[in-house]
Chain A
């Protein structure tokens, strides 16, 4: 004989409560639809109108669900969940509105000469079928490569000091690297201008630009490299030291190889950080309309400077070229960034 209970548990731990799921679906899918209908009927204008209508409605329906739904919880709880969702929506919408025109207006301006010519013969406002941004692409590449050559070794040395030497200065080094990461880009440009260009050591040139960028790049490389090096287990270091290795050999043969992919990632992140910098280059590389492959003498073009000057010219065609350059720049940054991400993932899988 079995006892059948007339009391049925509501099973609050059971996520697959059909009725509750239905109520949730009704509120969280129904409210946005309702908001769209309300906006269509009442003639509230624009995306922001729709957003605030939805937010208001959803706060009310969410509160109703909390109060009268199958599972009761506080209205404050439903309110905070909806506000969190709203913050995500606002950010993603804004971010997409930044990315979308880069690619729509960039592709709209595309013509093949833009990639394969320089701007030396392009008059302001000239048609899109003349001139191009090749000089700026070459300039950016040279400047950024030079900046990497300067700042990646120093950045990794700074990180090694913090993780390997662990001397009395360690907290200060870490602090100064952090403080350096907050140096405004324009100040880095001013510094190089004052220290190297005014004093006559260098001209407006690719090298001056690279030095300015390396000031901005160094802290990024140092901080991410430090994080990577801290992941190397101390056991490995101890084992190598116990086998009689000198510290130099420990670092060269144990620490650096095991942190290799991570260090590449930190370098790439540093490069991605400075590829789009504009202000310091305006004060140092200065910009040019011709292809210049010599970073030591004359002013050199770069994509950000090119975009800046095209914006100042301001005619429709110039601005269209600026958007195209923005797209190329964004693709370069995205490519670097994606590579860094892939490397991180591969390392985590290993």
Chain B
């Protein structure tokens, strides 16, 4: 009885003998693959090393204080008579606030654009529109800075005044004094236009992965465009859309020069929610604003700020990568 089992074919095992050249070649590829890890580790290491003097002196207070006082540029331990006080809470919260505003605008806009590309506009126009969106995504951020300063702010001041006049009973539209020029709202608007293409491109990728049989079935059951979007497309692509938004947040947190021109930095107090007021914060913008004439200790503080920025954006991007990938894998 068992003899028939013995006759069953067994898969042959192939031993690959790699030549020496091949092994060297694979080694080179591995190094190439690991460079991104080395660079990330290097960034963290060097920033942490350069930020160490400040982080040792101020500890965690560096992230919870509200001050940018240079003093005489010496630490108390070095016998300073007029010690500096650095605390970047207004900048950290400012970065988060403008990121929230920009994603709050860019998320509906980007998803709307992606949905129109897939379900609304004629097929012939799709190509042109996708090229246009890619092109907008490629516009250098400095150009957005000029646009924000010269084109957006004159209009945005009118919108802000209107919002403040009609909706001041909502706390976020309240201001302490009516100067609207370089507010978190403006920075949020500039960033919103910059990250809308990102949200749109990611959402569109995810939408195109919705199995057509699901959509056909929904149509056959009498679903309209709206019910199909609500009950089939959006539930399927939730994760991917959130991932696209996280990518946008990462970009918004790290954006430097575009924000620099449209946001008034204010170091002494946190602007928690008055988005129309000309006082806000941005870690990236802080670095560029102070770097030029910074004393050695101040440079160390800027490195600490950069380290915080690096860690926060890394977390946002890691979360985005996990969400988008799992959403793509669902297919």
Which A residues are closer than 8 A to B by beta carbons?
Answer: 46, 48, 73-74, 76-77, 79-81, 83-88, 90-92, 94-95, 97-99, 101-102, 153-154, 156-158, 160-162, 164-165, 167, 169-170, 172-173, 175-188, 190-191, 194-195, 198, 215, 218-219, 222, 246-248, 251, 272-273, 275-279, 282-283, 304, 307-308, 311, 319, 322-323, 326, 329-330, 333-334, 337, 341
Q: Is the CB of B254 within 8 A of A175?
A: no
Please report the C-alpha to C-alpha distance between residue A195 and residue B145 in the assembled complex, in whole angstroms: 29
Chain A nearest Cβ from B254, distance in angstroms: 3
Which of B19, B147, B196, B320 has the most A CB atoms < 10 Å from its CB? B147
Q: Which residue of B lies closest to A164 (CB)?
A: B29
Q: Is the CB of A219 within 8 A of B36?
A: yes
Q: Which residue of A lies closest to B316 (CB)?
A: A182
- Tell me if B32 is interfacial: C-beta within 8 Å of chain A: yes
Contacts of A179 in B (CB 8 A): 36, 40, 314, 317-318, 321
B window 147-164: CB within 8 A of A = 147, 149-151, 155, 158-159
Please report the C-alpha to C-alpha distance between residue A76 and residue B227 in the assembled complex, in whole angstroms: 9
Q: Is the CB of B158 within 8 A of A87?
A: no
Contacts of A307 in B (CB 8 A): 142-143, 146
Contacts of B29 in A (CB 8 A): 157, 160-161, 164-165
Q: Which residue of A lies closest to B256 (CB)?
A: A279
Q: Is the CB of B288 within 8 A of A279?
A: yes
Please report the C-alpha to C-alpha distance between residue A178 and residue B33 in the assembled complex, in whole angstroms: 12
Contact of B134 among A177, A181, A185, A337 (CB under 8 A): A337
Which of A164, A181, A184, A198 has the most B CB atoms < 10 Å from its CB? A184
Q: Which residue of B lies closest to A274 (CB)?
A: B140
- Tell me if B83 is interfacial: C-beta within 8 Å of chain A: no
Identify which of B4-12, B85-93, B115-123 touches chain A: B115-123
27 A-B residue pairings within 8 Å (CB atoms): A76-B224, A76-B226, A80-B225, A84-B119, A85-B120, A88-B116, A88-B129, A91-B109, A92-B132, A98-B144, A98-B147, A102-B147, A157-B29, A157-B33, A162-B33, A165-B30, A180-B40, A182-B247, A184-B254, A184-B309, A184-B313, A185-B141, A194-B47, A194-B49, A248-B25, A307-B142, A329-B143
Contact of B113 among A48, A88, A161 (CB under 8 A): A88
Interface of B (DSSP majority class): helix
Q: Is the CB of A195 within 8 A of B42?
A: yes
Please report the C-alpha to C-alpha distance between residue A278 and residue B34 in the assembled complex, in whole angstroms: 27
Q: Which residue of B lies closest to A153 (CB)?
A: B32
Contact of B257 among A94, A161, A167, A308 (CB under 8 A): A308
Contacts of B214 in A (CB 8 A): none
Size of the chain B interface, CB-CB below 8 angstroms: 88
Contacts of A272 in B (CB 8 A): 138
Q: Which residue of A lies closest to B247 (CB)?
A: A182
Chain B nearest Cβ from A244, distance in angstroms: 11
Please report the C-alpha to C-alpha distance between residue A145 and residue B106 in the assembled complex, in whole angstroms: 34
Which B residues are closer than 8 A to A by beta carbons?
Answer: 18-19, 21-22, 25-26, 28-37, 39-40, 42-43, 46-47, 49-50, 108-109, 112-113, 115-116, 119-121, 129, 131-132, 134-136, 138-147, 149-151, 155, 158-159, 193, 196, 200, 224-227, 229, 247, 250-251, 253-257, 261, 284, 287-288, 291, 302-303, 306, 309-310, 313-314, 316-318, 320-321
Contacts of A319 in B (CB 8 A): 150
Q: Is the CB of B317 within 8 A of A181?
A: yes
Please report the C-alpha to C-alpha distance between residue A149 and residue B162 in the assembled complex, in whole angstroms: 52
Given contacts A176-B36, A198-B50, contact A77 B224 (CB under 8 A): yes
Q: Is the CB of A77 within 8 A of B139?
A: no
Contacts of A341 in B (CB 8 A): 131, 134
Chain B nearest Cβ from A140, distance in angstroms: 11
Q: Is the CB of A191 within 8 A of B287?
A: no
Contacts of B287 in A (CB 8 A): 186, 190, 279
Please report the C-alpha to C-alpha distance between residue A85 and residue B119 in the assembled complex, in whole angstroms: 11
Contact of A276 among B42, B108, B143 (CB under 8 A): B143
Contact of B146 among A170, A188, A282, A323 (CB under 8 A): A323
Contacts of B134 in A (CB 8 A): 337, 341
Chain A nearest Cβ from B303, distance in angstroms: 6
6 additional contacts (CB under 8 A) given A175-B321, A176-B40, A247-B22: A88-B112, A98-B136, A157-B32, A215-B39, A222-B36, A279-B257
Contacts of B109 in A (CB 8 A): 87, 90-91
Q: Is the CB of A182 within 8 A of B313?
A: yes
Contacts of A173 in B (CB 8 A): 33-34, 36-37
Chain B nearest Cβ from A236, distance in angstroms: 18
Q: Is the CB of A81 within 8 A of B284?
A: no
Q: Is the CB of A101 within 8 A of B150?
A: yes
Please report the C-alpha to C-alpha distance between residue A154 and residue B47 in the assembled complex, in whole angstroms: 23
Given contacts A102-B143, A186-B284, contact A248 B34 (CB under 8 A): no
Contacts of B116 in A (CB 8 A): 84-85, 87-88
Contacts of A160 in B (CB 8 A): 29, 32
Please report the C-alpha to C-alpha distance between residue A61 and residue B321 in the assembled complex, in whole angstroms: 42
Which of A157, A181, A215, A329 has the most B CB atoms < 10 Å from its CB? A157
Chain A nearest Cβ from B207, distance in angstroms: 12
Given contacts A173-B34, A180-B40, contact A282 B291 (CB under 8 A): yes
Please report the C-alpha to C-alpha distance between residue A191 and residue B36 in the assembled complex, in whole angstroms: 14
Contacts of A81 in B (CB 8 A): 120, 225-226
Q: Is the CB of A165 within 8 A of B26?
A: yes
